[in-house]
Structure 1
Amino acid sequence: MAKPSPHLLFAILSIASLIPLPTGAFSADRPTDRRILVLVDDLSIRSSHSRFFSSLQSRGYDLDFKLADDPALAIRRYGQYLYDGLVLLSPSVQRFGGSLDLAAVLDFVDAGHDLILAADSSASDLIREIATECGVDFDEDPAAMVIDHTSYAVSETEGDHTLIASDDFIKSTVILGEKKIEAPVLFQGIGHSVNAANSLVLKALSASPAAYSANPRAKLSSPPSLTGSSISLASVVQARNNARVLITGSLAMFSNRFLKSGVQKAGSSVKHEKSGNEQFVTEISKWVFHERGHLKAVNVHHHKAGEMNEPSMYRINDDLEYSVEIYEWSGSSWEPYVADDVQVQFYMMSPYVLKTLSTNEKGLYTTAFKVPDVYGVFQFKVEYQKLGYTSLSLTKQIPVRPFRHNEYDRFITTAFPYYGASFSTMAAFFIFTVAYLYTK
């Protein structure tokens, strides 16, 4: 086989160098400066859900719309991810096109990227499996929908009460914003359950105690598998690598019709001119895409009291000071993070010192303590985990040595009884010697 000419290789490399390779995940300087891939079953969703997409674009996101079964579909090239967020609005897709599959979506999240998944009653096994891998389980009955005969949305037609007006939101301002959502959220779709033992999954929107999941077109012959407040309508996941996921069983929840529609909850005399859907999906998407609750720590520093340089080791009983700066991304800039629950451990096998850091409310956290009277290899550890915020894990290793032979006090106060015993023994021996030699 003939070898390619050097001129041809040079031309190929020159062209390849002109192809921009996007960076993976979010940058340290601008966490929200990212590209998002939107996969749909039908491109008509671009118009039927345009208000939601316009909200993302107005906040600086670059949306790339593709059919979920596009044969040229790819999210990774040359070892680099082409997108930083993935929005799956394709509940009925049986198999993704191109190189995208279940493993690729999970690897995308494992690499620290964010995901929004919306399903409905037509959800395929592929979509259900992605949700299961993220920690939630949709109702196994493919025809089941969430039904509520007490918290349904009042409409001109009575219907089967699958159009639900829910206002059971998660109690977290960092996830849903400071402004309270006054109007109920319209939901029509399938419910799911979360594992109570899984601390990474949280119910962002729950059904009422009277809700249940069943086929609205069939007679209920056996107790439903999902009932009451255990049904989650929308759940959020923050993985240990700080990737964020939103999973909901209602594709219509993001639609223009639900975002613009008025709502009146059954049993309530208050009729809201506009549902809470637009505020809910906007605020929760801000959290999913790290516009809120994203923390970074910089300038971790420790030194002896009265000094500024960081030493290579400490001596037992030294007085030291520890400091770190923590900031939160506001969507446009880094702002000082203010909290009273940030702690540092001085750790060797177990924490010997645990101190709560004090803040100047400008991002700087400081504390001071005495090195314990134990020598070895210690670590300064900050393990900060708070609902809705990205976790911080900071470690710095430092050895601690004992006193040198010439650093001990010449006379130790606690050793005075031993000194007294030694001198009294010598005095007694002298007196005994004199008495023995000079007395008969």
Structure 2
Amino acid sequence: MAKFLLYITLTISLLPFLAVSFSPESPTDRRVLVLLDDFAVKSSHSLFFDSLKSRGFELEFKLADDPNIGLQRYGQYLYDALVLFCPSVERFGGSINVASIADFVDSGHDLIIAADTNASDLIREISTETGVDFDENAAAMVIDHTGYAVSNTDGDHTLIASDDLIKSDAPVLFQGIGHSVNPANSLVLQVLAASPSAYSANPQSKLSNPPSLTGSAISLVSVIQARNNARIVVAGSLSMFSNRFFRSGVQKAGSSTKYQKSGNEEFLTELSKWVFHERGHLKAVNVRHHKVGESDEPAMYRINDDSDYSVEIYEWSGTSWEPYVANDVQLQFYMMSPYVLKTLSTDKKGLYSTSFKVPDVYGVFQFKVEYQRLGYTSLSLSKQIPVRPFRHNEYERFLPAAYPYYGASFSMMAGFFIFTVVHLYSK
């Protein structure tokens, strides 16, 4: 008995620590596999890699054709994210191929693809699987005769200073190939687009036919957020991640402003925070519903009951979960179609709530919250609940709307009684 009491005492004393250890963890991917064409990229792009390491990521560098590489072992994935800095690889080593990378993303993991002018068919095929298509001309590069970066040599205007569709202190340097995105695909978004004067062609030869990609339809960097909240970045330039581009000064043609440092580091750091779920990641907890005036969740509702619904939504700030504040979170009370659609009000501390009257329809309903907002992970919440009609003894005994019928009935009985008396006792 004494040992048992000691065990209980120790367990109770450890409860606060257990509560901390089982608290919600960071959604950030920590184990990252980086596949390279050459280990020289590890040093030439060290600033980008160091920024990841400084934020707590565990990077494992492998050659793309290493025969021992694999994404999973015994059915368990070894990594949370994959970075492909190997644009010229013709065939992956080990068990990695296009299908295994697609399965990796389908399992909710994240991916960064950096292509280049020497992008292989393998890299192009993987990019096509994600929803973007690189220019089919293998020698093509993005050329811009008005939006290029000023340099000491005239060059071929393939070094582009882009500031379209981004918010950065300085233009971003880009040199590589362009790609197109399907405008009908709501999952793909241009993050860095070419200017209206840009086009995709071989800079070493004269144009014999109109270029297939022109203007702002050329995407330099695109992002994809899958329906399972896996995130993908596709860039047409490996050089834009390099130390040289990070440290290089930049002056856009036609502008007198010269920046001492390009916007590449700022842009790609923020982009990597997004793709690795350090930004824009939502979670929902404490989903509750109950009858007005009660606190316990009922097993079912009755038609015309008053119901309260609440949920707490938080956003990962990079270090902790912070209350998410928005005015577009909606609740559906759903059976085949929404019978009730209400916008949830928020206390700006993470709690969203609303009240409504259960419709005068019985069946199996669902409380549904389907929240999708650009740049944020989607939320899909549902709770099933049956709704029953009134029981026979729950109806009101006298309905105000039926008073005319009650009056008609009693007046008929009174009239019949008077008629009977008069008929029986009159001579």
Shorter-chain TM-score category? Answer: over 0.9
Counterparts of 1:98-109 in structure 2, within 5 Å, are 98-109=94-105
**Counterpart pick for 2:270 among 262, 276, 283:** 283
- Tell me whether 1:156 sits opposite 2:143 in the alignment: no
Match of 1:330 in 2: 317
Counterparts of 1:34-433 in structure 2, within 5 Å, are 34-170=30-166, 180-430=167-417, 433=420
Unmatched tracts of structure 2, length 5 or more = 1-22
Aligned residues between the structures? 405
Q: Counterparts of 1:56 and 1:415 in 2: how far apart (Å)?
A: 74
Task: String of CA shifts for 1:103-140, please: whole Å, max 9, x gaps.
Answer: 01110000000000000110011100000010000001
- Residue 73 and residue 324 in structure 1: after superposition, are their counterparts in 2 closer, same or farther (change >3 A)? same
Q: Counterparts of 2:71 and 2:24 in 1: how far apart (Å)?
A: 22
Shift in Å, 1:182: 1.6
Q: Counterparts of 2:209 and 2:420 in 1: how far apart (Å)?
A: 104
Unmatched tracts of structure 1, length 5 or more = 1-26, 171-179
Shift in Å, 1:430: 4.2
Shift in Å, 1:298: 0.7
Match of 1:31 in 2: 27
Shift in Å, 1:425: 3.4
TM-score by length of 1: 0.90
Secondary structure at the counterpart of residue 84 of structure 2:
strand
Task: String of CA shifts for 1:270-307, please: whole Å, max 9, x gaps.
Answer: 11111110000000000000001111111111111111
Q: Counterparts of 1:55 and 1:368 in 2: how far apart (Å)?
A: 46
Whether the 8 Å contact between 1:33 and 1:60 is mirrored in structure 2 is: no
Shift in Å, 1:341: 1.1
TM-score by length of 2: 0.92
Task: String of CA shifts for 1:242-296, please: whole Å, max 9, x gaps.
Answer: 0000001100010001110010111111111111100000000000000011111
Q: Counterparts of 2:140 and 2:411 in 1: how far apart (Å)?
A: 93
Shift in Å, 1:46: 0.5
Q: Counterparts of 2:158 and 2:415 in 1: how far apart (Å)?
A: 100
* Amino acid in structure 2 at the alignment position of 1:123: A
Q: Counterparts of 1:437 and 1:188 in 2: how far apart (Å)?
A: 113
* Amino acid in structure 2 at the alignment position of 1:165: A
Secondary structure at the counterpart of residue 88 of structure 1:
strand
Q: Counterparts of 1:120 and 1:393 in 2: how far apart (Å)?
A: 37
Shift in Å, 1:414: 1.5
Shift in Å, 1:409: 1.1
Shift in Å, 1:428: 4.4
Shift in Å, 1:439: 6.8
Q: Cα RMSD over matched residues? A: 1.5
Secondary structure at the counterpart of residue 142 of structure 2:
strand
Q: Counterparts of 2:404 and 2:219 in 1: how far apart (Å)?
A: 71
